[in-house]
Structure 1
Amino acid sequence: MDKFTRKTSFEQWLSPINQELFEEQVKNYQLNYYTKKLYMAPFMKLLLYAQLHETESLRALSDALFSDELQCATGFESISFSQLGRRLNQVPTCFFQTIFLDLVAQIHQKTNFQTRRKMTTPLKIIDSSTLPLNLTNHKWAEFRKTKSGVKLHLRLVFMDKGLSYPDQAVITNAVEHDRGQLEVFLDDKECMYVFDRGYLDYERFDRMTDDGYFFVSRLRKNAVTRVLETFTLPSDSTVISDELVVIGTAQNRSENVFRRLKIFDTKGNELTLLTNRFDLDADEIAEIYKSRWAIELFFKWMKQHLNIKKFYGHSEQAVHNQVYIAMIVYCLNVLAQLNTNSDRNYLQISRYLKAALWKSAHIWIRKIKGKGVP
């Protein structure tokens, strides 16, 4: 980021959004055709502003245009909440998904992901989280008699120094089982995939092994296994046991052999892990699985600090769009941290941004770099 700039902090924060790609997508989907006022560029700014401020409704967002600064940023003095709602329902989710994936590509580049992949084995953590919806307004997402909801299936890249960010997502109705989405996230044999027991599927584990994908998963305690060999553990190991096993019954047994480890979690509970990685020691495997906690923290952060608790629209497309806008905001915070080499966490970066939203960008940049402002 430039040290001194005439941009506002808000403009600087959203500057990683590729304008050429943005306009290309607008043209491809004809999103500005027959539009008299609410063009996509100012609409996108309004949606990002709403996420930053956790604006509770489109009516509240419409009222926020009373602000002179927001009027200046968007180019119009007022807009009705009904226009905002129609627009949100009209934009295809692929539009926001493309913007999100481009930001992910920028993060890959900033973190030298491709180079590091050749030197180490990056972790990709897979999990899902259910986002509840109002049954009355979202009958299309019903998954119980009294509940509606969508499920965000996510792959999180976990790297050193605690850096983590989403790089692929699938949104389904909450009734969809996690197992059906696992193969969607498998595309890189140079990575290690980490996931919980919700993705257990012995046949798929065989296919992953045959295809050259490495994984660490949690195994159910009552899983049928046959121990072929028991490995000796170092005296200082925190792992309880390390064994070579075949999983499944005699009628439905895995074709490959796997490695089963038993460990204690942070609360002292015993966990059983399964992996097809044999070149790492038992404690390394245990630490890899414990890294799965990063995706739980990501979901918690999103639900606490981004606006995905209350949804603006009732249609499936509107709900999906709002989830992708939230992930775009997260990626913009990651890029703000990377571009400034900041030690601030994403919550601090976001708080400082809101405090200096319409001030000169260099004030916000200096603050998140940890330098005092004269």
Structure 2
Amino acid sequence: MRPFKRLKQRRKARAFKLLLTPVFERFKSDKQLESRGYRPLQMTFDDQLKALIFYHLEEFSSGSELLQALEQNDFAKECVAPPKGIKKSAFFEAINNRGLEQLSEVFGHLVKQAGKVLPAEYAHLGNLVSIDGSLIDAVLSMEWADYRSGSKKAKAHVGFDINRGIPRKIYLSDGKEGERPFVDKIIDKGETGVMDRGYQSHDHFDKWQAAEKFFVCRIRENTIKIVIRENAVNPDSIIFYDRIVMLGTKGVNQTEKELRLVGYRVDGKDYWIATNRYDLTAEQVAEVYKLRWNIETFFGWWKRHLKVYHLIARSKYGLMVQLLGGLITYLLLAIYCREQHNEPVSITRVRELRNQIANEAAEELEQKRMRTQQKSHKNKLLKKKRRHAKT
């Protein structure tokens, strides 16, 4: 990434520049965005990235609202928009056709940066990655986003680093796409995928074990269980079941490899958790599954406060650009809140940042107005002095 140019030396850009520092001052990309024709780009990748971050940071609900701000908002015109502005057609053409490779690279860089800055809260439980899919309401013109008759939805498949509270991988599909195949893409060897009942698959359980990937997955209560051996259970614990089993019906869908099954009860509700984590206590297995909820909290916060699912793109390419822009914004906020306040991301700190950006912009405008007045007054005095000199 090239360093800030217009933002440099600008007092009103202090907060915004500080937010973007992990990208613009700590990262250099080898993938340059180039024009596909003979005319130069109206919007460089840096401009595109800043626009996407500004869109999510300010909670805009449409691309038109963002474009209006880039044209009329003094801060956005000076520090976000391209130097010569951007036309509506050029903006949407860029979002739907350019920048995906570069955004993916920035996202990967920020995941690593956040890993260095954010503490591993549950390190004693291993590298935990919660996996879930989130449906995105689409419009009927988005033919690629099949869901059901008369309804269009896309689905984001996200891997969430539970230890650091950040998204680390994302894939996009139509709404009907199954979720289990994405586990192999999201989980690396030695990591533990934490999943809900929708990911239960005895065939996949065997494949993950063969690939030396761990899992903690809730299963349906009526799943057939063939007990191989039992583990001791503390009668005073929430755990009522801890056994090594084979799951499913022999000759139909039974697992080929044995695994561990933990049952626990909370508020009168039973949970059945299949896992190949034999190093954890049964209580820790229950704790790990409970932490799966963190990805749901993330999805809710991401949608509510960054307006990620307010579409500014209709193509699959463009929607992925928008989603990566939202993830990048979240990661930048996570790094900013930790480095500046030693806190996790919160809407309180985000609002504080927005206000700081607005206040700095207003301060700069006032200083600019005063400089203009002083210059005008100085010119008047100079003209008056010249007239007197002539007489």
TM-score category of the 2 structures, normalised to the smaller one? 0.7 to 0.9
Q: 1:45 matched to which residue of 2?
A: 50
Q: Secondary structure at the match of 2:60?
A: coil
Q: 2:67 matched to which residue of 1?
A: 62
Q: Name the CA distance, whole Å, in 2 between partners of 1:264 and 1:119.
A: 23
Q: Secondary structure at the match of 1:343?
A: coil
Q: Secondary structure at the match of 1:127?
A: strand
State the Cα distance separating 1:80 from its structure 2 match.
Answer: 2.5
Instruction: Using structure 1 for the length normalisation, give the TM-score.
Output: 0.85
Mapped contact 1:88–1:313 kept (Cα < 8 A)? yes
Alpha-carbon RMSD: 2.6
Q: Name the CA distance, whole Å, in 2 between partners of 1:71 and 1:237.
A: 60
Q: Name the CA distance, whole Å, in 2 between partners of 1:111 and 1:271.
A: 31
Q: Of the candidates 12, 18, 21, which is equivalent to residue 15 of structure 1?
A: 21
> More deviation in 57-66 or 324-333?
57-66
Q: Name the CA distance, whole Å, in 1 between partners of 2:16 and 2:37.
A: 23
Superimposed CA distance per residue, residues 273-300 of structure 1 (whole angstroms, 9 cap, x where no aligned partner): 1111222211111001100000111111
Superimposed CA distance per residue, residues 305-326 of structure 1 (whole angstroms, 9 cap, x where no aligned partner): 1222321122111111111101
Q: Name the CA distance, whole Å, in 2 between partners of 1:232 and 1:244.
A: 11
Q: Name the CA distance, whole Å, in 1 between partners of 2:294 and 2:312.
A: 28
State the Cα distance separating 1:344 from its structure 2 match.
Answer: 5.5
Q: Name the CA distance, whole Å, in 2 between partners of 1:60 and 1:144.
A: 31
Structure 2: which amino acid aligns with 1:76?
Answer: P
Matches of residues 1-374 of structure 1 in structure 2 within 5 Å?
A: 7-18=13-24, 24-27=30-33, 30=35, 34-35=39-40, 37-64=42-69, 65-74=71-80, 75-76=82-83, 78-111=85-118, 121-135=126-140, 137-159=141-163, 163-189=164-190, 191-251=191-251, 252-265=253-266, 268-343=268-343, 345-359=345-359
Superimposed CA distance per residue, residues 193-244 of structure 1 (whole angstroms, 9 cap, x where no aligned partner): 2111212221221222233222110111221211222322123211122122
Q: 1:268 to 1:345 in 2, by over 3 A?
A: farther
Runs of 5+ in structure 1 lacking a partner? 364-374
Larger CA Rg, structure 1 vs 2: 2
> More deviation in 74-83 or 89-98?
74-83
> More deviation in 6-15 or 292-301?
6-15
Q: Secondary structure at the match of 1:188?
A: coil
Q: 1:210 to 1:264 in 2, by over 3 A?
A: same
Q: Name the CA distance, whole Å, in 1 between partners of 2:41 and 2:148.
A: 42
> More deviation in 336-345 or 250-259?
336-345
Mapped contact 2:338–2:344 kept (Cα < 8 A)? no
Structure 2: which amino acid aligns with 1:183?
Answer: D
Q: Name the CA distance, whole Å, in 2 between partners of 1:327 and 1:125.
A: 16
Q: Secondary structure at the match of 2:32?
A: helix
Q: Percent identity?
A: 24
State the Cα distance separating 1:49 from its structure 2 match.
Answer: 0.9
State the Cα distance separating 1:66 from its structure 2 match.
Answer: 0.8
> More deviation in 165-174 or 256-265?
256-265
Mapped contact 2:147–2:153 kept (Cα < 8 A)? yes
Mapped contact 1:61–1:81 kept (Cα < 8 A)? no
Count, aligned residues: 349
Q: Name the CA distance, whole Å, in 2 between partners of 1:271 and 1:33.
A: 61
More relative contact order, 1 or 2 (CA 8 Å, 6+ apart): 1
Give the 4+ runs in structure 1 shifted more than 6 A: 116-119
Q: 1:36 to 1:237 in 2, by over 3 A?
A: closer
Superimposed CA distance per residue, residues 60-88 of structure 1 (whole angstroms, 9 cap, x where no aligned partner): 11211212221210353643322211111
Mapped contact 1:197–1:217 kept (Cα < 8 A)? yes
Runs of 5+ in structure 2 lacking a partner? 1-10, 364-391
Q: Name the CA distance, whole Å, in 2 between partners of 1:302 and 1:260.
A: 33
Q: Name the CA distance, whole Å, in 1 between partners of 2:146 and 2:256.
A: 38
Q: Secondary structure at the match of 2:226?
A: strand
Mapped contact 1:66–1:78 kept (Cα < 8 A)? no
